[in-house]
Amino acid sequence: MKYRDFGKTQSKVSEVGMGCWAIGGNEYGNSYGSTDDSDSIRAIKRSVELGCNFFDTADVYGQGHSEELLGMALKKVREKVIIATKVGGSYMYGGQWGMSNFSEEYIRFALEKSLQRLQTNYIDIYQLHNPSLNLIKKAEIFSILRKLQKEGKIKHIGISVHTLEEGVAALNYVDVN
């Protein structure tokens, strides 16, 4: 496996990472087909054996199931891997489908739930999950994430966006650029 510097994070990340959207399972429409938890865990562990150290997920993938599987599979190698997860889908906890919430209260709540599912006490890269361009440009959202960094709950700030314009706007505030 080859590794690269991951932006300004001082981390080395494998050129091949594992996206964990599909292992969340079919129950919530988050899969390409049927999934098997034991197969997913074996795949995660095997990818680590082959040198993969980067895993991307989100709290909404399988309503948290993707994070649970990662937590189980990576518990013994946690310090050797980089986990990126996302926050913002308030429908995860009873909100209206498709609605987002980026309030400090919600982010703190969702982060604690992700930490529990991932069986860890920190997230390597905590990403805003598809915030609006208007929210990105306001920039207050990033002060919330900076607080979480200072508290040691997240190492780096990231953002998952839909458009080039959103990505360019975010470059002023995230750690990995």
Structure tokens at 39: 């197969």
Sign of the dihedral defined by the CA atoms of residues 98, 99, 104, 110, in that order: negative
Strand partners, 125: 84, 156
- List 3, 28, 32, 61, catalytic entry: 61
Catalytic residue list contains 173: no
Task: Find the DSSP H helices in 19-163.
Answer: 37-49, 65-74, 104-118, 133-138, 140-150
* Long-range contacts of 102-108, Cβ-Cβ distance < 8 Å, separation of 24 or more: 102/128, 102/131, 102/135, 102/141, 102/144, 104/144, 104/147, 107/144, 107/145, 107/148, 108/148
The residue among 107, 109, 17, 28 whose CA lies nearest residue 66 is 28
CB 136 within 8 A of CB 170: yes
CB 144 within 8 A of CB 173: no
Catalytic residues: 61
